[in-house]
Structure 1
Amino acid sequence: SSAKEGGGEISVHLPPNDTVLSNLREIDFYSWENVGKDELKARNPAEYQSWKEGNPHGLIVDDCYPLLEIWERAKTVWHEIREETQAKEQDNGGGATLLVAHGTLGQSLLSTAFGIDATAFRRNEFPNCGIAEIHWHPSKDRATAWRWCHPPPPSAAECDLTRKITAYNLGCLREQLADIVLEGGGTLP
């Protein structure tokens, strides 16, 4: 899969997994698939604007709600993964999931791990080939902590705009995850 390829060298150190999760796929755009942005803007200006603004209730394609659907699929994926791993976590006092994903799928998986709904779309970027480590308590349905593994946080040498965007994204996450504790007992910066 593209996510496994995105994990690069990390994937060779992971245990083999023969489980196929049919809901673990990117957003479905139906008739929008393979249509250029300019054409979409011209044909569906309100819906395209909803996509750009991250309005899950305004993005309607072929009578479907793509953002709401991917969030529901993400919840289903976590349920399937958690069912499979909870027994091991009970024995080990908790567990972690390495999430390797692209854009919208990554946003939906990270958000739903913490019980955050689709209105969070576009508030927290998840880059292509993004990697996050998500920690779970064995008896809870939601994740308890997370940390970025890739890409690394911006350095001071990077442009000011990148730092501002990152600060904005961290601010949004801070608002949404205010009471979630990070690994090692810390809180969101």
Structure 2
Amino acid sequence: MAFVGIGRATLEYRETASPTGIRHRVWTACRVLVTMKVYVSSTGEAEPMISLPVLAAILGLGAVVVMVTAIPLARWLQRREVAAAQTSFTRQREALEARFFELAAISGKPRGLRWVKCDWQPLVAWAREARTGLITVFVSIELHFEAIEGGDMEDVAAVSTVRDACAVFHYQRGRWGTGGKALFNMNASDATSRLQGQFTPLE
């Protein structure tokens, strides 16, 4: 009786009186060895045919394949995230605009002025924040203020002047949010060009 070890499993071949049966079983054992790519030691234990250098080469090739495919995959995932963010913003825009005005009006900026009205413009610019990687959208707005009674701006004639600005929104963990931050004296496209070191424009 012969034993062939493959890992922890043991295949048992019982020799029969028939020469044909013996040849068949020997041939079957050989095919198993070739398929499993193992040697049979004198103790009946299986030993790998793949040497350490060959194994290292295979692992190295696998690492190269991962590196080659990782960059295109990452870019595809980023494009997918941007598309989802843009769709989500369009659906929620009205609620986000209301939230922006609510937070901006209580921010105390600009000093001595009260937020009266915010006219939302169609121009928007998409970007990714360099430090955090968050998708960001700048939305052009026109702001109307009035002076707070007893404040420093009460007698300033320019208070009634409509101001160009852009509202800032961030996309994080699948949700849009805003802190009510406005960038004054610029529209959405100006924001991406003036803040090149902080934001990377998106298509």
Above 0.5 in TM-score? Answer: no
TM-score normalised by structure 1 residue count: 0.27
With a CA cutoff of 8 Å and minimum separation of 6, indicate the structure with the bigger relative contact order: 1
Higher CA-based Rg: 2
Between Structure 1 and Structure 2, the one with more strand by share is 2
